[in-house]
Structure 1
């Protein structure tokens, strides 16, 4: 069992490698992965269920202890990334489906990978977890609303149907995970170490389905989308850091907020894009999932080295 747990953590740490590997395979033989498309929402629900199993009251204590930092982080998450995405879409005159996809990534809450990166960067990990938790719980309301207001000039957006989607694939699984943790505490503890493996497998399969279903569009627009994703992610880190600095938050909080703003729950973006828009709209989420797992460790390494000096 111990060796399996080590394998699970190894898979979690090398997440970006598996995303790249499976994406390449899905691109070369897309017909082998198209069947996954109908299960995207279920796969993301499994990831969110795992998140629910790892949450505790301690994760919310940071909200009470340092409400200013949490509010700045959550507001920055839902304000900066959508506006950066909108600015890139307008400034680069992106095609409608790609513009929708970029804004969709920007409107998603932070991903759990940001908590790991904050820890590695010697940032305020408790704050990072609190921001991720609060932003995820607010996502059913804020994500559809943001997409509706920013993306409707490109395509018709149904905020109500997206609201129900986020409820089903984010909020309900998290609540179920919390219930399992509450009533089956000992059994839940035994499975927590296996969650990195389950999460990686689920997200990698989602990305494979997206790549397989959008091969032609990736050939046509892949470099453009990749460039936009790098800019989106980079501006998120940079502006998030300076917003926290502007409000005179402690340096460790600045690092946490920078990473929280820059890293998104791209799995949710891919699931919503696949369910409500053209499959190409899910490609920015797929590329973001790969890229932020490269940029995040690079940024964390920079801050770690700076802390040592």
Structure 2
């Protein structure tokens, strides 16, 4: 292997293995360098690259052996998440803008690294991968619908939401999966790098969104505490729902369900809020959720792997 390739592999490993650290650093930088808010001007491009790069790792073969029942169970769990999210937000007495943020967070796709976490935990990676693609395509109708129905008190621009989902989520995902199907060997040569590219986009958007909310965060610590309580509750409820809908299935299916339902794609939620023209503060739950989720999912994956 050439020195340049070794360097790229090392860099990719550092980005992936220490993603939580990079996210924390990105949040800290966003709080101190508010000019980083300019990153949000490129949220659509960042989101498209994030979705497209990780989707290049998805192969059609991963989807072929799954039963409709197992996919349906994960979809059922996913459908409950925005309802739980609005319940958590209203239970904490959060503003309509923050409630919108929680609903978007509950409605978006599972976290892009869910298949990786599922693999580490000894679960059904094909199931979590399939759920990610199906929910990603379905989000085109699901996200605008639930945001419109559940988020009251804020004018919801549904057309921009749909446009952003098409341009930055669905199209990049379908193109990437199609490229993988047509040229599996050529695309597969770079498999070691795609997750790192996606992770870098996550780091960028979280830093930019944090910078855009820096004044609110610094001036209202009690609000941040309430949001923290909300995202911890939503994350835990998601894991619980994932288990409940699949508790009669085999262990591998249960693990995939727990992680696919409990892990929400915080970076997609944050980028979508900004790109669709929703109030900037609505992206704050996604930022806090990202930090919480990265810690809980890593711990849960390790625990599930040890209890196998």
TM-score normalized by the length of structure 2:
0.92
Cα distance, 1:101 vs structure 2: 0.6
Q: Deviations over 1:204-225 (max 9, x none)?
A: 1100110101112223122221
1:71 aligns with 2:72: yes
Provide the C-alpha distance between the structure 1 equivalents of 2:38 and 2:163, rounded to a whole number of angstroms. 24
The answer for the alignment partner of 2:278 in structure 1 is 277
The 5 A counterparts of 1:1-309 are 1-31=5-35, 33-62=36-65, 65-77=66-78, 79-151=79-151, 153-182=152-181, 184-219=183-218, 220=220, 221-245=223-247, 248-275=248-275, 276-307=277-308
Moved over 4 A (4+): 182-186
| Residues in 2 aligned to 1:57 and 1:183: alpha-carbon distance in whole angstroms | 10
User: Are the aligned partners of 1:109 and 1:265 in contact in 2 as well (CA < 8 Å)?
Assistant: yes
The Cα of 1:181 is off from its aligned counterpart by 3.3
| Deviation (angstroms), 1:176 | 2.7
Kindly state the Cα deviation for residue 183 of structure 1 after the two structures are TM-superposed: 5.0
Unaligned runs of 5+ in 2: none
Equivalent pairs, count: 300
**How far apart, CA to CA, are the structure 1 residues paired with 2:299 and 2:187?**
33
Q: Give the TM-score taking structure 1 as reference length.
A: 0.92
1:50-87 deviation line (CA, Å, top 9, x unaligned):
1332222113214xx3110111102211x221111011
Contact 2:54 2:198 in 1 (8 A): no
CA distance in 1, matches of 2:92, 2:181: 48
**Would the alpha carbon gap of residues 184 and 129 (structure 1) be closer, same or farther in structure 2, given more than 3 Å must change?**
closer
Q: Aligned partners of 1:283 and 1:61: how far apart in 2?
A: 38
Kept in 2: contact 1:9–1:196 (CA 8 A):
no
